[in-house]
Chain A
Amino acid sequence: MNEMPLWEIFIRSQHGLAHKHVGSLHASDAEMAINNARDVYTRRNEGVSIWAVRSTDIVASAPGDKGPLFEPANSKAYRHPTFYDIPDEVGHM
């Protein structure tokens, strides 16, 4: 018999934050994935919502592409508020 497929589990905590990846687990189908995720990842009230995604369905960027993908942002300091000097007299902005 085949091994049960792997699922990635995402949990949303109580404070209105986005779902966050917490780990993975094996389950035969979606329903079992949710049930197992409840037992494995929310034993202490860690969440109010669970997402389960088949690991094979996740598309990830390659570590080797880090340069082309993310370096262009390095030279664009003007995208950050601290790039601009506002005189103290103007007050909080």
Chain B
Amino acid sequence: MKFVCNKDDILNEILYSMDFTSQRNSLSITSNVYLETSGGRLIIRATDQKLGFSTEIAVETLQAGKTTVFCEKLLNILRSLPDTKIDFSLEDGMLTIKPEEQNIDFKLRTIGADEFPSLENSESSSYFTIPQKSFTDMANQTMFAISEDETRYFLCGLYLERNASGMNMVATDGRRLSIVERTFEEDLPMFPSIIIPPKFFTELKKLSTDEGMLDLAITENILFAKIGNRTFYTTLIKGQYPNYRRVIPETQTYTCTMRIQDMLDALKRVSLLVENKAKRIFLDISESGVLLTSDESEVGEAKEIIACQYEGPDTKVSLNYTYLVNPLKVMEGEYFSISFTEPTRAMTVKPDSNKDYFHIIMPMQPNA
């Protein structure tokens, strides 16, 4: 195997590949990156057996062939090299990396390409196309509500389901829930509801070219995504997602509207004195304004009033302030509303502008 390519071309792809290798053990084949060249192309693959990545770039193939090398070392070597064309050649199980016209010579031990696990594949016909931005935005509006409790592993991912005219994305940790119900103009096929590990979206964001399109293919166990020449996939979280519809209140009696920025600023200040484990704040909602208070503690207490539009009885609710901060930080528009029926029941948090997402927050026990 022998090929020549620009440093930046290959470095970029190895950088992406790195995230898909298993980084625990340098002796494992899945810590390696797969390189295969023929006919002026270099195919690069990486997998940790859960996620997989495959891409190709144009190179000058001098001799077709394939091998695998320890991805992290290859990445560090490439990073250290000057910007120039680089010769790669495989001899006696060692991959030689040599920048042209330089006295630099790296040799990396390889593992045979035959030992590299085969990547999952999906028929190109099963892909459907949507705007990248729309899909990553759905994740942005919900991702923070994913559970971190591994005993409830099925809540540790984003739930994606087909709706009549598009897709719903849902995240919940059992205490708050965030949902986007998005309509797509593009034709979407029917697909089974799936639970997507959050790492998929971390990678999607890195690989995203923002304005472009995204091809998705969904099977029972795997979600495939394609952006340009790059294909990646994740195995899905298996398990029964709870019947989340049941916990979304159909109607709420009272609605209080506030400026998003007012609330964020006030939360930032009042939360300075909020006890760190429970993270509880109180909202005293009245027609004259919303009073935010921290619990009284040894350290002290904090109070702040913000303006609101509200008609209803004076109501005190207590909740984990991060459940408000997380969605408000990414909420569009100027105003948002908190709707409720009783201070001890689920509240609905919505952008005031006509958007397709909202959040359900369970309060804390008021006076325990």
Partners in one complex: no
Interface residues of A (CB under 8 A from B): none
